Structures are given as C-alpha cells and as structure tokens.
Amino acid sequence: MKVVNLSDYQQFSSEKMKKNNIFQTPRLFCDVYCFEPGQEQKGHVHGDQDKVYLVLEGEGTFKVGNEERVLARGQGTMAPAGEEHGVVNHTRARLKVLVIVAPNP
C-alpha cells in the first residue's frame, strides 16, 4: 500500500503552475496543482475524462463550461468530460488544489 503525506507534494514554480503527481494508473491520476499569485491553468477540454478540483489552500477562480466561481479552501467542483475548464489564481496568495482525473465510465 502506498501511503502519502500531502505536504510532500506541494512544490511551486515561479515560471508556471506546478503539477505534483501523487498517484497515477491507466484509469486515474491524482495531483496537487500549485499556483503562485497570477498563475493559471488555461481553459481546455478532456474528451473522455472527468476532473475534480478540491481547494486545499487559498482561493481561485474556477471555470467549468460557461460558469465561473471563486472557490476557497474546502470547496470543490467537477468538470465533466467534454466541458471546457480552467483555473486562475487571482489573489496575492498561493493556491493549492487537489485534482483527480478519471475516464468517463
């Protein structure tokens, strides 16, 4: 059994959002995305994968489809397969997001 400590997966990059992979199989991946202030994950689409975002620290602007919402620590959302989605750290503080992606059943 692989046991992890989330504090080991929280590296940041001054150049762009940093993806820190925790788990990965052919059926799923789980990362911590770390955003410095002003960084973003540009809008994009996964044709056959659902994506879950859960905010671990900070707050950011999350876009799924045509809707944008500011989410803070403890909140989350899901981008269903085929929906455009992205994240912007619009604040002056760091943003950490747990991300889980899995193929549509």
DSSP letter for 38, please: T
Q: How confident is the model at residue 103 (pLDDT cuts 50, 70, 90)?
A: confident
User: Would the pLDDT of 72 be above 70?
Assistant: yes
Over the stretch 58-67, which tens digit does the pLDDT of each residue have?
999 999 999 9
Average pLDDT estimate for 28-35: 96
Give the H/E segment covering residue 66. none
In the structure encoding, which two tokens stand for residue 73, read together?
């620590």
Spatial separation of the C-alpha atoms in residues 84 and 2, rounded to whole Å:
32
Q: Is the pTM of this model over 0.85?
A: yes
Domains contained in the chain, CATH given: 16-103 (2.60.120.10)
Over the stretch 32-52, which tens digit does the pLDDT of each residue have?
999 999 999 999 998 889 999
